[in-house]
Amino acid sequence: AQKVTQAQTEISVVEKEDVTLDCVYETRDTTYYLFWYKQPPSGELVFLIRRNSFDEQNEISGRYSWNFQKSTSSFNFTITASQVVDSAVYFCALRPFQGGNTPLVFGKGTRLSVIA
């Protein structure tokens, strides 16, 4: 079975602080993909990043960085120098590769509030 756990339900930080959102996943598949999505107050789901299970390189995109560790089945997301616009619900998701076109399994999300 596939499962994604985001243990942090809500996080509140002051602007310019760094914040890390945790994600732990479970899967028996050897090939899979991991994702992060952002859901701002307006409600849409915005794709942020995709990693495949064979690529454990960390990735940085501006103030965002992701740390993928297969040994601990974790795919954590760090926002550096947070801004009020980062306030949103962030979802981690897993997509097993079983011949393609499988649905995403989402964690329950972490609500991040950045206070000015």
Partner 1 sequence: DSGVTQTPKHLITATGQRVTLRCSPRSGDLSVYWYQQSLDQGLQFLIQYYNGEERAKGNILERFSAQQFPDLHSELNLSSLELGDSALYFCASSVTQGGGELFFGEGSRLTVL
Residues that bind partner 1 (CB under 8 A): 31-33, 35, 37, 43-45, 47, 50, 52, 91, 95, 97, 100-109
Per DSSP, what are the bridge partners of residue 47?
37
Task: Report how far apart, in Å, the C-alpha atoms of 53 and of each of 50, 56, 82, 90, 107 are.
Answer: 10, 7, 28, 21, 18
Q: Which is closer to partner 1, CB of 15 or CB of 29?
A: 29
* CB 114 to partner 1: min, Å: 22
Least CB distance from residue 3 to partner 1, whole Å? 12
